[in-house]
Structure 1
Amino acid sequence: MNSYLLAFKSGFGFLSTIPVGISMEGIDELMKKIYFYPVVGAILGLLIGAIAYIGQSIFPGPVLAALIMGSVYYFTGFNHLDGVTDMGDGFMAHGSCEKKIKALKDTTLGTGGVAFGMLVLLAFYGSIRSVQEEGITAFGSNLPLLMFGSMFIAEVSAKQSMLTIAAFGKPFPRPENQAYPGLGEMTINGATRKNFLIGSIFGAVVCFLPFGFIGLLPYLAACISSLVLLNRSYSHFGGLNGDGIGTANEIGRVTALIIIAVILKLSLNTGGLEWTLL
């Protein structure tokens, strides 16, 4: 199989629940061409956006918000959310970096993990509802298009957030008994300046399409959120691992939606922002 097609296919095997199959050869190719992360995010965003578009015409807002969340995790799985809970346990642990890393890698779920996971899920739900509520006044009958574009941008932003945190991060020191890099280290090593630049440009272009320049604001905010998370990961753990990269995905998605809701609210108050719908 062509290396680009193998990397593209492996992107879905690695970042989604779509049963395309995955192999170590495919993962190696994906890491060499990790700019496919936001490409996969764009296609997943089209699927999730289509559900939001159709659902907005059928279901009440709170029900649709829950269905959108369900569709996100149906297509993307819970691996990244698991990273959120692991990071929460590590953040809550007291003591040295070694103790915090031990808590991070512990397979049991602690209070910090539960709390962090719940906060992210509540923020996800609240951000979807905020886009709906602020958008109904501004867009009226075009609200389904707004929801489609918002979920599309959110998923592209989530995947670009992973690429961003990996591009600027450094991995944990590898244990002496571990001969080969883990997936987190492989992701960081693959996120070269060239791959980061290609992915960033692609993400910016496709996020521009639904709303014009306004669509770039949530995209950039999501990338910034990943750098804030990276700073916290360095502070607590002295580096970055796969859990931190997965957490960047979840926080990046929520950040993008929050910024869209804020822009909607500001545009209603000032009348100064013009939206371009598709």
Structure 2
Amino acid sequence: MAVNALAALRGALGFLSRVPVGHSDASWEAFRRTPTAIPAAGYPIGALLALPLATIAVAPARGAAVPTETVAVAFVAWLYAVTGITHLDGVADLGDAAVVHGDADRRREVLKDSSLGVGGALALGLVVLGLASVALLLADLARFAPVAAVGLVVAAEVAAKAATATVVCLGDAAHEGLGSALTAESGPRSLLGVGVVAAPVTLVGWPALLPGIAILAAAGVVAAAALWWARSRLGGVSGDVLGATNEIARVVGIHVGVIAWTLS
């Protein structure tokens, strides 16, 4: 069991990031049968993403000399260097599908079209702008509360992965492909394990619980919205839906987490 769990975690890291592990067939098979590996991978991935902010904490004197805007840009660039743009492509595809006129079949055709339309460009712009704007806040926060800044990034990443895993557990694929490869092996019963793995992020603002709870709640709302939209507009879940859920839940989670931390 432990060996399978480790293989699933390696597979999750290989699928959800550019970390050079988990690209074997055995890791992939273990991963797609283990939805709990998705939020579990959020912890190490989130720690990697927070490195630009942690640098300010490790070297505060040097960090103070680096403009906030520069740190924010470095954070965004580093994020996509670590995670890749595969999931961001899902945002673009769903943006195009969201604005097209027609039924579910027509929208699924748009998802397969590699060209970028106005809807996809707008969706990409909103996600990247949302990430860049909150990166500014995180860079400022890291100067006087570095542990909180790093913790919010990790918590939002785990919550985003939990949202993706929720869609995997509760969704049915619209057609054969990546979506069906994941959803076919999971079900609602697997959701309990996903929640257990993600639960520690509620302690990110300890002793205040509001930031962590707010981040998880926000991710849950994104997952519910993604499921509703996929079922009503596409006829089911696809790989693009999973990727977009991850990207949107991350951005929403960090924003909500920063707001909740400020209020707590």
Same fold (TM over 0.5): yes
2:173 aligns to what? Answer: 171
- Of 232, 245, 248 in structure 2, the residue corresponding to residue 251 of structure 1 is 248
Unaligned runs of 5+ in 1: 175-180, 268-272, 274-278
Give 1:72-221 correspondences, 5 Å limit: 72-132=79-139, 135=141, 142-172=144-174, 174=175, 181-205=176-200, 207-212=201-206, 213-214=209-210, 215-221=212-218
Quote how far apart the aligned CAs of 1:18 are: 0.9
Unaligned runs of 5+ in 2: none
Quote how far apart the aligned CAs of 1:131 are: 4.4
Q: How big is each residue's C-alpha offset from its partner over 1:101-151, in whole Å with a ceiling of 9 and x where there is no partner?
A: 101111211111111111111111112224455x48xxxx53222211111
Partner secondary structure for residue 211 of structure 1: coil
**Which residue identity lines up with residue 197 of structure 2 in the other structure?**
F
CA distance in 2, matches of 1:148, 1:116: 26
CA distance in 2, matches of 1:196, 1:31: 14
Equivalent pairs, count: 254
CA distance in 1, matches of 2:245, 2:93: 13
Could you say if the C-alpha distance between residues 14 and 44 of structure 1 is closer, same or farther in structure 2, counting changes exceeding 3 Å? Answer: same
CA distance in 2, matches of 1:219, 1:234: 23
Could you say if the C-alpha distance between residues 47 and 189 of structure 1 is closer, same or farther in structure 2, counting changes exceeding 3 Å? Answer: same
**Which residue identity lines up with residue 76 of structure 2 in the other structure?**
M
Quote how far apart the aligned CAs of 1:98 are: 0.9
Q: How big is each residue's C-alpha offset from its partner over 1:177-204, in whole Å with a ceiling of 9 and x where there is no partner?
A: xxxx422112222332333211211111
Q: How big is each residue's C-alpha offset from its partner over 1:208-241, in whole Å with a ceiling of 9 and x where there is no partner?
A: 3321322121122112112112212223212110
- Of 257, 261, 264 in structure 2, the residue corresponding to residue 260 of structure 1 is 257
Could you say if the C-alpha distance between residues 36 and 161 of structure 1 is closer, same or farther in structure 2, counting changes exceeding 3 Å? Answer: same
**Which residue identity lines up with residue 11 of structure 1 in the other structure?**
A
Bigger shift: 111-120 or 222-231?
222-231
Quote how far apart the aligned CAs of 1:252 are: 0.6
**Which residue identity lines up with residue 78 of structure 2 in the other structure?**
S
CA distance in 2, matches of 1:7, 1:232: 29
**Which residue identity lines up with residue 169 of structure 2 in the other structure?**
A
Matched-pair identity in %: 27
- Of 231, 234, 247 in structure 1, the residue corresponding to residue 231 of structure 2 is 234
CA distance in 1, matches of 2:147, 2:4: 36
**Which residue identity lines up with residue 199 of structure 1 in the other structure?**
V
CA distance in 2, matches of 1:249, 1:190: 19
Could you say if the C-alpha distance between residues 19 and 116 of structure 1 is closer, same or farther in structure 2, counting changes exceeding 3 Å? Answer: same
CA contact (8 A) 1:163 1:191 kept: no
Partner secondary structure for residue 204 of structure 2: helix
1:32 aligns with 2:33: yes
Quote how far apart the aligned CAs of 1:246 are: 0.5
